[in-house]
Amino acid sequence: MTEEERIFSGKLFASEEPELVAKKLKAHRLSQEFNDLFEEDIEARQSILQKLLEDIGEGTIMLGPIRFHYGCHTKIGNHCFMNFNFTVQDDAQVRIGNHCNFGPNVTIVTPLHPMLPLSRLCIQCYLMNVGASYAVMASSDLYAMQSLSRLATIVGLVQTLSYARE
């Protein structure tokens, strides 16, 4: 099983495998190229997004700067809006539906690192697939981020405990 197959099946994976590193470097380079362009460079920016993402819908706008960890694990629907500092750490699949709007400083994070000291010794992490299938408005609201952080910690702990039993 390849590391990417492990990612999509929700298993622990080694993020420093050469194939994954190459995909991350490509995404980081394309993100930077996008950020180096001005907002009025619409065609050049769209061209970069088409190379960067698995799929991007019609009429979707990203102001930038943007950062994608892999890019190729993210699909974005039609007529979405991403405000400044949109970050997606898409180790697992990220699916954003049509007519979704994101405020400034939004970060979508899929990996969960092991929580127990013994489990943290290995260079692997867990994943949570993330999706928004209908119109949503997101912002960097502290309370929402704290709630997501608690959820991620609980999910990570449960996964770590089940991995320790295997």
Q: Which H or E element spans position 126? A: strand 124-127
Contact partners, residue 85, CB within 8 Å, separation at least 6: 65, 104, 105, 106
**DSSP class of residue 121?**
G
Catalytic residue among 28, 73, 79, 113: 113
79 is catalytic: no
Counting DSSP H helices and E strands in the chain, the numbers are 4, 14
Cα 155 to Cα 114: distance, rounded to the nearest angstrom: 10
Cα 157 to Cα 166: distance, rounded to the nearest angstrom: 15
- Yes or no: say if 103 and 84 are a contact pair by the CB < 8 Å rule: no
Catalytic residues: 113
